[in-house]
Structure 1
């Protein structure tokens, strides 16, 4: 049978989600825990990959195994077995052809920054001491919705077949403790959100006008965009699927 796992993790200790040689990853830790508890080799397929140090408030993966007799018990045992920085919220039976990556229709990221030094958010957000013009940043962010080709924000020398992404929302909100950038799209390129945020911060600090976004995107040149902000402020917050994928559990 095929199951989806909904889980979350704090990424500081990991070299991203996807398995790598000679580096600890979230996928490796989760697969080892599942294999140990189910007494069989288990491989999982994630909804996507997050880079080293990036966090996930909501992430999904799928795996195949014989029918699980007590799902609640397995969730409990997994959480007891996993380290404190990884938590499983649910294990959900799905259709056999359901795919955690290819069936995802939308993903949302948040980027957190703080304007004052805060020891309690040091590992959770990026500290920016410079004054920022949030209205200009939001003006520039809104322009992202007019484009689909985001090669200028992609990690160099990547092996993707297309740089097209359908960005559906992009905006900043200012809270008492932190500023949050929210961006939703059908897919993201490697390093894309961190490069977008770095570029918007240049706008906010007055290093470029909001309209400069048009030229940067048209250039398709990573060197024209801003620097990538630190990974510690980036969170995958939501992965959305068609409702019918989860109908299997009702049967």
Structure 2
């Protein structure tokens, strides 16, 4: 009897035409399309588990999922074939064998996002950035972003009625940079709540435009009240950009 092996897939996708990562009723998702493509390749149903959810319209320059199969895999042949089956807005860039108990979601130690803001209209970036005509104060936004590192309960930035046991996240890095005519917000944490990054971006933008202060941000976090934080930034500017695992999880 052939033993089943577990693999991590590394992929990227343009989220514009998908209702997020996770399979759901009456809406097309990245997970659904990928599972159907794997079923076409292997000629039997294949379930996958992603490292984390992304919401409707959010992109991923790096996402990871795992699946099990007892089929012998030639990596290069598999990558060519599966990318030929997938639509043009989803791409698999790598496959690695991992321990049989490895888990794409639960074994992740760090996750990173990038949020992009453009300050003038661009036909080429329309689907990939939030267009904002007003130049915010980046120094003020970075002062406020540093406050995030002092806290661990971010209920104020979470979508309401979400199914989580707690709202604690350890943010390791949060900063804005301005380059090539756009603003980029970089944030890394051990975990994120649903809608958290977009709510943080919207609130920090309020600080940069003088609508809120860094002191207001501190009070918002302590309040745990989503209504006191800023509006969520548009989904199209958000990219799931990196995920990290312990080195001993890989077998190749």
Range class of TM-score, shorter chain: over 0.9
Q: Distance in 2 between matches of 1:81 and 1:216?
A: 46
User: How many Å apart are 1:69 and its aligned residue?
Assistant: 3.2
Structure 2 stretches of 5 or more lacking a match?
Answer: none
The whole-number CA distance in structure 2 between the counterparts of 1:223 and 1:51 is: 20
Q: Deviations over 1:85-106 (max 9, x none)?
A: 0000111111100000000000
- The Cα of 1:231 is off from its aligned counterpart by 0.2
The one of 11, 17, 25 equivalent to 1:13 is 17
1:218 and 2:219 are equivalent in the alignment = no
Give per-residue Cα distances to partners, 1:170-208, cap 9 Å, x unaligned: 000001231100000000000000000000000000011
Distance apart, 1:212 and its partner CA: 1.1
Counterpart among 35, 41, 56 of residue 60 in structure 2: 56
Equivalent residues in 2 for 1:132-147 (5 A)?
Answer: 132-147=136-151
Aligned partner of 1:184 among 188, 210, 214: 188
Distance 1:208 1:70 in 2: 55
CA distance in structure 2 between the partners assigned to 1:56 and 1:106 by the alignment: 15
Q: Equivalents in 1 of 2:106, 2:33: separation in Å?
A: 23
Aligned to 2:122: 118
Partner of 2:86: 82
Partner of 2:49: 45
1:102 to 90, 103, 106: 106
Matched ranges for 1:195-206 at <5 A: 195-206=199-210
Task: Compute the TM-score of the two structures, normalised by the length of structure 2.
Answer: 0.97
Query: TM-score, structure 1 length as denominator?
Result: 0.98
State the 1:157 CA deviation. 1.0
**Total equivalences in the alignment:** 248
Aligned to 1:3, the other structure's residue is in SS state strand
For the residue of structure 2 that corresponds to 1:30, the secondary structure is helix
- Secondary structure at 1:211's aligned position in 2? helix
Q: Which runs of 4+ in 1 moved over 3 A?
A: none
Measure, in 1, the Cα distance between the counterparts of 2:130 and 2:67: 34
Q: Which of 14, 24, 27 pairs up with 2:31?
A: 27
